[in-house]
Amino acid sequence: MKDLRPLLEQARQDHLYRRPLVLDSPQQPEVMVDGRPMLSFCSNDYLGLAADPRVGEAFKQGIDRWGSGSGAAHLVTGHSRAHAQLEQELAEFTGRERALLFSSGYMANLAAITTLLGRGDSIVEDRLNHASLVDGARLSDARLLRYAHGDVKAAARQLQKATGEKLLAVDGVFSMDGDLADLPTLTELCRQQDAWLMVDDAHGLGVLGANGGGSLQHWHLDARQVPVLMGTLGKAFGTAGAFVAGSQELIETLIQKARTWIFTTALPAAVAEATRASLQILKEENWRRERLGELVEKFREGAMGLGFELPPSPTPIQPLIAGSAETALAWSSQLAEQGILVTAIRPPTVPRGSARLRITFSASHTDEQLQRLLVGLERLRS
């Protein structure tokens, strides 16, 4: 057997070793980490719904009615009325004919790509796409053609090289940089080349758009222009799982062919009930998105006033680029000493030389908590 110890030791030497934090509290701005109170700025709970009592109450009622587990895959006995209702509500929310639930965004992306493409086909992707989109391409056996981040001219050239069935897959909001894909231009490129356009809107849904409809609503794009939409439920929605939304034919094809759906136990029905509650809150309480906008604007003004250079991001994802993994870890450690939790993001999650602090905001953060973060960042500069 291979000796794994040298690999682990090398990760330590390269400042790339990781360990999970242990929380002793719900997901909210003030958390307990390993028994220590910390102010968190690294969660994806953008709207502050992960610990919302209304969502929790729907979860409890779901357990009372449906139990704690689904017991089987959707095609066996795992598909409850709660799942069916949530899928219908997600389809209506996204303006599509149907939606299909998955256990995670990773599984949803693998399902869509490997179902639509195979050997002899081509997939075009932004180089900063989420790992699940890249892995889906590899598992599909399709030819993977990547382009420099945000370079739509390079995307056009790659599409022109593509053969067989063509699909362009892209993050609506890039998870580590917080910037938006130029979806209107990519939509037109795909129309010209008769290619599918698939958008992973994990970090856009709930955050962007008039009622939280995400990147597509932000850009005023419809289901015809973007036929494949993936959204996750563990971020702005505050629960767990994911979905793919699209045409009747797309969803039926996934039901028949998608291995990561067919061979996976369904999410607990109680999660579906909780998500139905969070979806209603997400649509109705626009103040949450407005609050995020205020926090981002105040943070960017304050951080740039301290001399930090910020990439262009209008979203709750605000990266501070450190460069080396060692520097990112040092920054994270210095903030932790002040009781502020911002984890260091290092390769391979981001490209080598771009390790960073990935600061994220929740609608639940207060102005006082934001000011505390800025004071902590100012001390990094001294």
Model pLDDT, residue 18: 87
pLDDT tens-digit map of 24-33 = 999 999 999 9
- Catalytic one among 79, 130, 203, 218? 203
Closest by CA to 275, choosing from 225, 248, 241, is 241
pLDDT at 172 over 80: yes
* pLDDT band with cut points at 50, 70 and 90 for residue 16: confident
Whose tokens are 């609503």? That residue is 217
257 has catalytic annotation? no
74 has catalytic annotation? no
Cβ neighbour number for residue 110 with a 10 Å cutoff: 24
pLDDT tens-digit map of 124-156 = 999 999 999 999 999 999 999 999 999 999 999
Model pLDDT, residue 381: 76
All domains in the chain, ordered by first residue: 17-47+286-381 (3.90.1150.10), 53-284 (3.40.640.10)
235 has catalytic annotation? yes
pLDDT tens-digit map of 247-290 = 999 999 999 999 999 999 999 999 999 999 999 999 999 999 99
Whole-angstrom distance, CA of residue 26 vs CA of residue 43 = 11
Model pLDDT, residue 169: 98
When the pLDDT of each residue in the chain is averaged and rounded to a whole number, the result is 96
SS3 readout for the chain: CCCCHHHHHHHHHCCCCCCCCCECCCCCCEEEECCEEEEECCCCCCCCCCCCHHHHHHHHHHHHHHCCCCCCEHHHHHCCHHHHHHHHHHHHHHCCCEEEEECCHHHHHHHHHHHHCCCCCEEEEECCCCHHHHHHHHHHCCEEEEECCCCHHHHHHHHHHCCCCEEEEEECECCCCCCECCHHHHHHHHHHHCCEEEEECCCCCCCCCCCCCCHHHHHCCCCCCCCEEEEECCCCCCCCCEEEEECHHHHHHHHHHCHHHHCCECCCHHHHHHHHHHHHHHHHCCHHHHHHHHHHHHHHHHHHHCCCCCCCCCCCEEEEEEECHHHHHHHHHHHHHCCEECCEECCCCCCCCCEEEEEECCCCCCHHHHHHHHHHHHHHHC
Whole-angstrom distance, CA of residue 324 vs CA of residue 4 = 25
pLDDT tens-digit map of 356-370 = 899 999 999 999 999
pLDDT at 321 over 80: yes
pTM value? Answer: 0.95
pLDDT at 104 over 80: yes
pLDDT at 302 over 90: yes
pLDDT at 382 over 80: no
pLDDT tens-digit map of 179-237 = 999 999 999 999 999 999 999 999 999 999 989 999 999 999 999 999 999 999 999 99
* pLDDT band with cut points at 50, 70 and 90 for residue 300: very high
- Catalytic one among 235, 278, 364, 365? 235
By DSSP bridging, strand 317-323 and strand 355-360 are antiparallel
Mean pLDDT of 41-68: 98
Mean pLDDT of 58-77: 98
